[in-house]
Amino acid sequence: MTDRHADDEETFRIRQMTIDDFPEVFHIGEEVFTADYSQSLYRTWDEFEITTLFNSDNELCLVAEAGEEILGFALGTTVNKHNSPWKYGYLVWLGVHSGIQQGGVGSKLFKEIKRRMKEQGVRIIMIDTSADNQPAIRFFQKQGFDDIQEHVYMSLNLTRKTKKKGKKP
């Protein structure tokens, strides 16, 4: 990756993702969505994330490109909640190549996915990220997100023997 500053209208553009972009998008995701990024299986990056979202919402699968090089991507979907007349947008994955972060690529990807979601009738956009992912939280606040709600994930290990209550050791 060159050390170009991405925040230059001339150097990169946003377009819809195609099948040919899958390997590049997958590798950028592997680079930025590490095990540290998400300790819960619910948010595990793999190739099915790309293909599933591409099959259901290809208009909301975008890449940022400079020449032949993919710099980042945004993958989203829309959700209709039961009992709610509103349509929600869910930005599932947003990733920018680590060498070019803080250069305006994420903002431009977000601006375009927001425009497309609005065009599809979305009233509220949702995102989720780890509570300690401060760069992403700062990023989304900068885009106007607020009303942070914390969520607790728990796990139960079924391979571990459980102690029966009241039984002497």
Ligand X SMILES: CC(C)(COP(=O)(O)OP(=O)(O)OC[C@H]1O[C@@H](n2cnc3c(N)ncnc32)[C@H](O)[C@@H]1OP(=O)(O)O)[C@@H](O)C(=O)NCCC(=O)NCCS
Identity of the residue, 32 or 122, whose beta carbon is nearer to ligand X in the bound complex:
32
DSSP3 helix / strand / coil % (the chain, rounded to 5): 35, 20, 45
Residue 80 or 134: the one with the smaller Cβ distance to ligand X is: 134
Binding segment toward ligand X, per CB under 6 A, in 8-16, 50-58, 102-110, 151-159: 102-110
Choose, by CB under 6 A, the member of 16, 77, 129, 145 that binds ligand X.
129
Nearest to 72 by CA among 28, 112, 30: 28
Q: Which residue's CB atom is positioned nearest to ligand X?
A: 106
137 to 166, contacts with ligand X by CB under 6 A?
138-139, 142
Q: List the structure tokens of 82.
A: 């039961």
| Residue number with CB closer to ligand X (41 or 156) | 41
Question: CA 60, 64, 65, 66: dihedral to nearest 10 degrees?
Answer: 160
Q: Which of 93, 112, 113, 114 binds ligand X (CB under 6 A)?
A: 93
* Close Cβ partners of 60 (under 8 Å, ≥ 6 residues apart): 53, 74, 75, 76, 77, 78, 89, 113, 116, 117, 120
Residues of this chain that interact with ligand X (CB under 6 A) are: 32, 93-96, 101-107, 129, 133, 135-136, 138-139, 142
